[in-house]
Amino acid sequence: MADRTSSISAWRGPGAPAPGRQRLIARVLALIIPPRGQSFLPTATGYVLIVTTVGICIAAYSTGSNILFISVSLILSGLLLSGALSWVNFSRVCWRIQAEPPFREGEKGAVLIDLRNGKKIIPTYSLWFRISARKSRQPGRVFLEHRLDPGSSAVLEWIFEPAGRGVETITLSSGISEYPFGFLRKSVGRAVSHQVVVWPRRIGYEMQASGQAEQFSLLGDSSRRIGQGDDLINLRDYRRGDSQRLIHWKASAKAQRLQVRQFAAENLSTYFFFLQTSQRIWRDTEQFERMCRFAMTLAEDFYQWNRILGAAINDLPVIHIKRYVDIAYFFDQLAMIEMTPTDQIPATPLESNIVTFEPYGRSGVIACAAGQKIATA
């Protein structure tokens, strides 16, 4: 499974961190032998200029005109200056991919490109990159619209929409620039790839009739703990995933940071989610995908209601859910699971009040607890 804590790729480009000796050797060799991923190609304007230069050169040799020879010299000098300035423009510049999780199937997500100019005097201009999502087949381009001053950094943003759950590979091409005259297109640095985990998308579902729902709400042990009741017991710092309705604005203004209200949840049952992915249960791929989306939606709602204690998938270790990072880890597992040929039972026995999922009809899925249907998707 992809490591969700690693949301930033390694630095790439001429200014990427490297040992001093290797850096010096690589810099000297790059002046003689272009490194892998580096290329100089004429643009359409550059090809026109080259053809024009060849024509003027032929005319100069045919007529012996010094003015034409001077014109050829000026054009060639311009091309040489263009290449030199382009090399200086890329010097000591580096970039990396920074993902902004969570990513969800069918919802737009942001991928950031960190740019850093390590030069002390000369700014960098007109960089752009090709970027793509391999699984979703979404190509794109990101541009540096303003100059990058010496010693400064910039962040470029690319928005894409994941096509399915699982691991998505984001590939960023080498840095590209036509600076300064637009005659040559220089590509520097090797492509960098970074993997992100895409969660299943949310879907609609229906809870059972009011009588069954009331009976369902009374199942399990009662306790007094932090939850969504009416009794305020504490204030704490805001964490990603908290509902904005819980923010205490007056306390936040006094503390100069967001504060969230914590209430006591009384007489509310808590549950464990258990998912089996055996082909004996799930024979249809579309129905299995629906189960993954339904399980994530229901678990997310139960987390907001403070009704979920933990979760387990097949024989994987049980996840005890207390914080947002715990439920996010469970969603990472949901993003990666596939159907298995046989049943897999967890080694550690689960606690009571277990929510399971079963096929319902040709394409539906039901959630059951204590032998009763509690929700249908």
360, 362, 364, 367: CA torsion to nearest 10: 20
The CATH homologous superfamily to which domain 20-199 belongs is Immunoglobulins (2.60.40.10)
CA-CA distance, 42 to 46, in Å (whole number)? 5
pLDDT value at residue 150: 92
pLDDT value at residue 216: 46
β-partners of residue 372 are 369
CA-CA distance, 228 to 301, in Å (whole number)? 12
pLDDT value at residue 235: 76
**pLDDT tens-digit map of 110-154:** 899 999 998 889 999 989 999 999 988 889 999 988 889 999 999
Whole-Å CA distances, 58 to 54, 74, 80, 127: 6, 16, 20, 36
Domains of the chain, by residue range, sit at: 20-199, 206-222+267-376
**88 exposed, middle or buried (CB, 10 Å; 0-12, 13-18, 19+)?**
middle
pLDDT value at residue 123: 92
Residues of the chain where predicted confidence (pLDDT) is lower than 50: 1-5, 21, 210-226, 228-230, 265-267
Tokens of 110: 């942001």
Rg over alpha carbons for the chain, rounded to the nearest Å, is 30
pLDDT value at residue 27: 62
pLDDT value at residue 30: 62
pLDDT value at residue 28: 64
pLDDT value at residue 50: 86
Phi, psi of 184, rounded to the nearest 5 degrees:
-125, 140
Length of the chain: 377
pLDDT value at residue 86: 85
